[in-house]
Structure 1
Amino acid sequence: MKKKWFTIGGIFTVITVMFSFFLITQLKVVSGMDTRNDKTIVLQNKIWKFNFSAKLDPKSVNEKTVYVIDEKGQNQKVKVNVSKEGNSVIVEPPDGGYSLEAKYYTLHLSSDIKSALGKKLLSGKSQSFEVKDTLPSVKSKTALNELLLNRVKEEEKKHKTGFSISVKESSQESAAADKSGSNYSETNVQVQGIDEADTVKTDGSHIYQVVDEKVQIIKAAPSDKMTLESVLSFDHSFSPYQLFIYEDQLIILGNSYGKMPYPTQKEIAKIAIAPVHETTKAIIYNIENKQTPKKIREFEMEGSLLSSRLMNGKVYLIANKYPDVWILKDNPEIDIRPKYSDSLEKPGLQPVDFDHIQYFPGSSETNFTNIAVIDLDKPTEKISVSTYLGSGNNLYMSKNNLYIAVSNYYWFPHIDGKSEQPDTTVYKFNVDGMKVEFHSSSEVPGTVLNQFSMDEYAGYFRIATTKGYVWDDKRPSANNLYILDENLKQVGKLEDLARGERIYSARFMNDRIYIVTFRETDPLFVIDGKDPKNPKILGELKIPGFSNYLHPFDENHLIGFGYDTKVSGKGPGNQPIILTDGVKISLFDVSDMSNPKEKFTEIIGGRGTYSPLNHDHKALLFDKKKNLFAFPITVHQNKPNSEYESTFEFQGGFVYNIDLRTGFHLQTKLTHQDPQAPYEEWENQINRIIYIGNSLYALSPTKISSYDLNSYHQQGELSLKK
């Protein structure tokens, strides 16, 4: 009897395994379909992308197997392509976009679509959609909560089946242009004329610095008589970390974590409003009198600060809010809207109007992007606040537009157990004074490194991405450049640059585009972007090490800041082990774009040497007229006869001159460290270097020192210790 049951059980197991294998190997649509609604809402320029569980037979993807019809059954002139990777179908809209006159459209995927191995789609699929010319608003609490719950349920369903989970994380003028309008340094920014918040600012007479949860205001001129004018302290719930200066106003940005303890789940079920975790706060002071600054306004909105900009007297704050969507399961009537407060209006946090909450059709995003605009020229005017259901992790801003990039992860099973690497959705917003309005969106393959991977020039948006996996020979990474028109429709591209490597830095300089990739060596690609429809690689330079920040010196020269590297034996899979060594500065000559040259290099220290400039462009002081190239740095030296160990040597600032004929020339080293200290002292760590007039200033948490810019002799020192 037992043997019989074992036999039956064995047969059942075999059948189960065979059936499971059949399901896994059959061709399926694993993401791209919106199954939450009978008719999803999309914009006129919607590009559909359907991911399949295997590579496709491109011959099976055509106008007969993939097509769009309107409610009258009339075929639409869409463009159908198979992605470069081979496992996705991309459906582009007709020229000019879908017509608004049709009541609805239906997109069909035929069961005749086949995998490269000949497996047919299990069953045909269809997607009905309505087209709108603007983003829809949620209109009501019921509509918002239903939208969020549907998205949560859809993601849970996909997660349980193991097929698809979509998760979304967290005009290029040379910003190196001479500061001809002022005699003091400004924050090193990406786009000239658009300021970025930093920990240190100066207005030419005073220095403003965020230190240890406080903001210090220092009278800096004359440099030999520096004085601490005032210190702004804050409630323990507020953490300041960035500043703007505009005329006689000091804008302090930071995070606030609230004064109320977080409620329990039972307490949440009883209340009608979702609890607040974190807010982005802006505090504005009138600083005509530096000794007694006057607070004139406080503004805060829910979410963590993604980024900020200051342009033409207006501060733009962009924050990501991650709501507790799980609350809706137990209390579907709770008000989960983002909240904000303004000290010049009602006291306390107020929810954003439902009519001001828009959502991106087709997205499964449950996070919010909150955008606030503050007019500093009219400090008592109403602050503009808008909210979008959807968030991003990188931001680029031009004079007329704001772009938010978000990574889209599509997880589904592969035989090798790996998942697809994410792509990037870009949301474009028009900026017109106090108005920030959604314009269009698009998706490009791969992910961006940082804000310098994006740029706008002559009406076109350019973006550099990496797709795939470094050190994976089966699915090696590749690097790409995409050029999109004003409606974010792709018009040009370069793909498959430096396979097996990833982007470490990028810089767009009008018609010229520079991209640095790395795995074992540092290829610098020089790209001609004069024709946006046909960008061309004109030159490539392979050198040891890599640059993770590129800075324009002039039209024909580029400064690279990064690391020297060396190969140290072989690792798993016989892959080389790459070790970073000292910090490396390079001066590239790109006057002949087809033959770029590393004209000069400078190596600082050994293993463990690092600078904030490796990851934060605002740490650089560059002024071409004054021939200044300065940055904070911590120097370690390699330990003799040791592969990995190093010893601390120096922390402070290095100040260079750059000569196109002779290269880098170290002028001086500035430090606040105790020369006898065997390790780096955090409280004496120089973090920023600025200049005012003919004086150079080095700033650390406990001290400011000043130096003559010609001789570098010390002029003064101010202790900031309590």
Structure 2
Amino acid sequence: MSRPYALALPAFLFLGALATGCSDRESPGGGDLNPRVLYGFDSCDDLLGYTKGEAKGLIEKYGNLQGYDYSSGWFGDPVGDGGGLSTGGTDSGGESSGGDGGEAPQDGGDNGGVEGDDYSGTNVQEAGVDEPDIVKTDGERILAFAGGRLHFVDASGASPTLRSSLEIGADVRDAQLFMHEDRALLLVRSSPYYYGDWEGAPQPAGVDLQQYFGPDYYAGITRLIEVDIANPDAMKIVSNLHITGDLVSARMVEGVARVVVRSAPNGLKFKDPYEFFDYSAFEQGGGTEALYEHMWKIALAQSKVHNSSVIDASTIENWLPRYVREDMSNGQAAVTSGVLLACDDVMHTGEYSGLSTLGVLTVDLDGHLAPTGGVGVFSEGETVYASKQNLYVATTPWNPADWDPEASAEEQGRTTYVHKFDIQDRSRANYVASGSVRGWLLSQWAMSEHEGDLRVASTDSLGWDQATSESFVSVLRQEGDELQQIGQVGGLGKTEQIHGVRFIGDKGYVVTFRQTDPLYTVDVSDPTKPVVAGELKIPGYSAYLHPVGEDLILGVGMDGTEEGQLLGLQLSLFDVSDDAAPKQLHKATIGDDWGWSEALFDHKAFLWWGKTGLAMLPLEWGTYDENIGYSWEQGAFGFRVDKEDGISLIGEVQHPEPVVEECWDEYYGCYYSPMLRRSIVIGEQVFTLSDVGLKASALADLSDAHWVEFPQN
């Protein structure tokens, strides 16, 4: 039977790195589960009863766990989240840009650098809560991931020097990292390494995961890599931890990382109706529509019988994430494997939220990477936010009524559930409470903790009718094991949805967009009565908001026309000193036809160095001239931001274009323009990162100073 989790739930690994615990209190409502509370299992039989029961209900209704309606034929319409088998990852885990958290300083800080330090860190949401990125520095060492390698650059001397480059794996092209003292933790989205047996197929070094996860596992794998960086000339991998599932997001506080992974059921050999459809008999019978409908119903029924039998035969290994660990600390790799979670360390939401397991692995970088203990939640959690004290995981269960044209307005719309975990214990985290808000969240930036309360910005609509869309700012406060809504203001951006949001202190700034960009200021000083204090409408929109001085916010977004047509990129400086009348002081338009920046959806690509008023970000834009046609430009561009003087271009940084000797054009060779992705400050220099190297430029004018080239494959 399901049991609610108590407030003092201990923890080490999954979902806040929890361990077991339970409460003797009865489910609320005489057996009806509270959708805002997490419930545990008493045994493996109890867990299997839950998963099999939910899965067989989906099989009976749809014939599959994905929620596709096959009743009218192959390629049916999706009618719901069903089994929750979505395996798509985000960074951040569906975590797009949109603003930073409530604890950032009014002047915007210096991208995570400690007060008084002469270097910038990762541009994070909350001060003291690190986020993984492709580059890290402590002011003397730079760790950068590029081209499938981890590069160690010594920045302590007069000129930066590449000390070593560590090959991470032939299949690795996407990785993020944390750095803490003499350890680095790399987070990699990987695959099961099924490359086939054709001659020349790339085969990664290390353990054969197919041997452990089976030949039928084709979903994503999260690989955590512990790297010893004590010797800059000989970095070495200490251990690998491979987990069945997709990386969603991660945070680190004082050397303790929480890595969020979403793992779908695995190894279940389902069959679709077309595999039972007798096409020969259909053709011999005349191929009529009526015959097709009749035979399809038979095939659907047969697939349901088969799939139900698969569910009946399933085991714990099919429903919970598995792991393979390679321990190389003593030289030769010692491999262990197993199921990551114990049955009584798993929870489910009061309202069904899918059969995937959402979890947060706790890794203390002062210790070693190990799959010890853990708790999981059967939920399709998409969004993660963390303060220094608490971790929040938000999930928005699919509402099938949104697909039903006959559903009433009361039945339509979305609800987001938020689960809170205390992460102040280095070795464990405690589940403490859950709550809900109306609508869905843009990203992590939609949540912000302030003085113990959680502010949440959300957008809701009836089904897909954008005319009914509006946004809200809600305030949740913990009362016992529930996050109760104590205040809410709605009506923001009717017919629009949120494109950017940032909370600063007791103020919120929300950008919605459809044709114009309303920038709303929301006063949350009284959390029980949040109010919209002011509104500014301008063409285009800002996707990312960053404080750059007292009552000043810089917006990174897109310019547009009054009719809603988007133009090039733009930077906007807003004066928010008067809540009732926010103003756009200055605007810098970049290109007039097409533009893009990684900072539009990933805040870590944005650098603000308040000491010199420097805003820097990677940019690409195109322009059209009737005489020469299209032209485009890209690089890392620095802007001076000043309340009086406006936004002015300081300079731009370009990296050398490497020649690729073996390519399609043997005569000319092949060139490509490397994408500059990050900028960091150390002392009087700005370092920019691309796949081909790291360039140091003068902080004052971005003139070239040093070039560090990375080895290329």
Q: Taking structure 2 as the reference length, what is the TM-score of the superposition?
A: 0.75
Shift of 1:443: 2.4
Partner of 2:684: 694
Partner of 2:229: 287
Partner of 1:177: 109
Partners in 1 of 2:172 and 2:707 — Cα distance?
Answer: 30
Partners in 1 of 2:645 and 2:184 — Cα distance?
Answer: 42
Match of 1:621 among 607, 612, 616: 607
Shift of 1:579: 2.2
Partners in 1 of 2:36 and 2:592 — Cα distance?
Answer: 57
AA at the equivalent of 1:353 = A
Deviations 1:215-269 (Å, cap 9, x if unpaired)?
222233446x43322111133355551011111212211023234689xxxxx9x
The 1:445/1:156 distance shift into structure 2, 3 A limit, reads farther
Partners in 2 of 1:407 and 1:137 — Cα distance?
Answer: 20
SS of residue matched to 1:609: strand
Higher relative contact order (CA 8 A, sep 6+): 2
The 1:560/1:501 distance shift into structure 2, 3 A limit, reads same
Partners in 2 of 1:388 and 1:606 — Cα distance?
Answer: 47
The 1:664/1:158 distance shift into structure 2, 3 A limit, reads same
Asked whether 1:193 is paired with 2:128, we answer yes
Partners in 2 of 1:196 and 1:465 — Cα distance?
Answer: 23
Q: Provide the identity percentage.
A: 27
Partner of 1:229: 163
Partners in 1 of 2:104 and 2:36 — Cα distance?
Answer: 35
Match of 2:590 among 604, 610, 619: 604
Asked whether 1:220 is paired with 2:155, we answer yes
The 1:307/1:131 distance shift into structure 2, 3 A limit, reads closer
Shift of 1:101: 6.3
SS of residue matched to 2:604: helix
Shift of 1:383: 4.9
Structure 2 stretches lacking a partner, 5+ long: 8-22, 63-68, 72-76, 89-100, 197-209, 270-307, 329-333, 660-669
Match of 2:337 among 339, 349, 354: 349
Partners in 1 of 2:78 and 2:221 — Cα distance?
Answer: 35
Deviations 1:615-637 (Å, cap 9, x if unpaired)?
10000111111322101101211
Partners in 2 of 1:131 and 1:614 — Cα distance?
Answer: 38
Partner of 1:410: 399
Moved more, 128-137 or 204-213: 128-137
Match of 2:40 among 125, 130, 137: 137
SS of residue matched to 1:146: helix
Please say if residues 148 and 169 of structure 2, whose CA atoms lie closer than 8 Å, have aligned partners that are also in contact: no
The 1:163/1:601 distance shift into structure 2, 3 A limit, reads closer
The 1:466/1:364 distance shift into structure 2, 3 A limit, reads closer
Partners in 1 of 2:486 and 2:633 — Cα distance?
Answer: 50
Structure 1 stretches lacking a partner, 5+ long: 1-38, 46-98, 107-127, 263-267, 568-575
Shift of 1:283: 1.3
Please say if residues 109 and 608 of structure 2, whose CA atoms lie closer than 8 Å, have aligned partners that are also in contact: no
Counterparts of 1:683-722 in structure 2, within 5 Å, are 684-722=674-712
Partners in 2 of 1:369 and 1:258 — Cα distance?
Answer: 20
AA at the equivalent of 1:551 = H
Partner of 1:148: 51
Counterparts of 1:541-690 in structure 2, within 5 Å, are 541-566=536-561, 578-640=564-626, 647-672=630-655, 684-690=674-680
AA at the equivalent of 2:191 = Y
AA at the equivalent of 1:361 = G
Partners in 2 of 1:425 and 1:325 — Cα distance?
Answer: 29
SS of residue matched to 1:595: coil
Shift of 1:378: 2.9
Please say if residues 340 and 349 of structure 1, whose CA atoms lie closer than 8 Å, have aligned partners that are also in contact: yes
AA at the equivalent of 1:197 = P
Counterparts of 1:285-364 in structure 2, within 5 Å, are 285-324=227-266, 326-327=268-269, 329-330=309-310, 332-334=313-315, 335-336=317-318, 337-344=320-327, 347-351=335-339, 352-364=341-353
Please say if residues 548 and 608 of structure 2, whose CA atoms lie closer than 8 Å, have aligned partners that are also in contact: no
Shift of 1:42: 5.8
Q: Taking structure 1 as the reference length, what is the TM-score of the superposition?
A: 0.74
AA at the equivalent of 1:206 = R
SS of residue matched to 1:480: strand
The 1:522/1:260 distance shift into structure 2, 3 A limit, reads closer
Partners in 1 of 2:342 and 2:189 — Cα distance?
Answer: 23
Please say if residues 43 and 132 of structure 1, whose CA atoms lie closer than 8 Å, have aligned partners that are also in contact: no
Shift of 1:357: 1.9
Asked whether 1:202 is paired with 2:183, we answer no
Shift of 1:305: 0.7
SS of residue matched to 1:710: coil
AA at the equivalent of 1:245 = M
Partners in 1 of 2:26 and 2:162 — Cα distance?
Answer: 67
Partners in 1 of 2:690 and 2:214 — Cα distance?
Answer: 47
AA at the equivalent of 1:480 = F
Asked whether 1:434 is paired with 2:427, we answer yes
Q: How many residues align?
A: 590
Partners in 2 of 1:562 and 1:386 — Cα distance?
Answer: 40
Please say if residues 493 and 512 of structure 2, whose CA atoms lie closer than 8 Å, have aligned partners that are also in contact: yes
Partners in 1 of 2:618 and 2:36 — Cα distance?
Answer: 49
Please say if residues 249 and 259 of structure 2, whose CA atoms lie closer than 8 Å, have aligned partners that are also in contact: yes
Partners in 2 of 1:482 and 1:142 — Cα distance?
Answer: 39
Please say if residues 43 and 361 of structure 1, whose CA atoms lie closer than 8 Å, have aligned partners that are also in contact: no
Please say if residues 524 and 541 of structure 1, whose CA atoms lie closer than 8 Å, have aligned partners that are also in contact: yes
AA at the equivalent of 1:348 = T
The 1:258/1:636 distance shift into structure 2, 3 A limit, reads same
Partner of 1:466: 459
Partners in 2 of 1:544 and 1:193 — Cα distance?
Answer: 35
Please say if residues 303 and 319 of structure 1, whose CA atoms lie closer than 8 Å, have aligned partners that are also in contact: yes
Please say if residues 287 and 294 of structure 1, whose CA atoms lie closer than 8 Å, have aligned partners that are also in contact: yes
Partners in 2 of 1:253 and 1:305 — Cα distance?
Answer: 8
SS of residue matched to 2:429: strand
Shift of 1:341: 3.9
Please say if residues 417 and 436 of structure 2, whose CA atoms lie closer than 8 Å, have aligned partners that are also in contact: yes
Shift of 1:658: 1.3
Partner of 2:473: 481
SS of residue matched to 2:398: strand
Q: Which has the larger radius of gyration?
A: 1
AA at the equivalent of 1:427 = H
Partners in 1 of 2:513 and 2:221 — Cα distance?
Answer: 38
Please say if residues 412 and 462 of structure 2, whose CA atoms lie closer than 8 Å, have aligned partners that are also in contact: no
The 1:716/1:102 distance shift into structure 2, 3 A limit, reads closer
Partners in 2 of 1:518 and 1:463 — Cα distance?
Answer: 18
Partner of 1:507: 502
Please say if residues 153 and 160 of structure 2, whose CA atoms lie closer than 8 Å, have aligned partners that are also in contact: yes
Partners in 1 of 2:524 and 2:252 — Cα distance?
Answer: 28
Partners in 2 of 1:244 and 1:490 — Cα distance?
Answer: 35
AA at the equivalent of 2:181 = E
Partners in 2 of 1:371 and 1:707 — Cα distance?
Answer: 39
Please say if residues 145 and 151 of structure 2, whose CA atoms lie closer than 8 Å, have aligned partners that are also in contact: yes
Please say if residues 653 and 702 of structure 2, whose CA atoms lie closer than 8 Å, have aligned partners that are also in contact: no
Cα RMSD after superposing both structures: 3.6
Partner of 2:414: 422
Please say if residues 683 and 701 of structure 1, whose CA atoms lie closer than 8 Å, have aligned partners that are also in contact: no
AA at the equivalent of 1:194 = V
Please say if residues 268 and 314 of structure 2, whose CA atoms lie closer than 8 Å, have aligned partners that are also in contact: no
Please say if residues 176 and 187 of structure 2, whose CA atoms lie closer than 8 Å, have aligned partners that are also in contact: yes
The 1:648/1:437 distance shift into structure 2, 3 A limit, reads farther
Moved more, 411-420 or 457-466: 411-420
Moved more, 593-602 or 683-692: 683-692
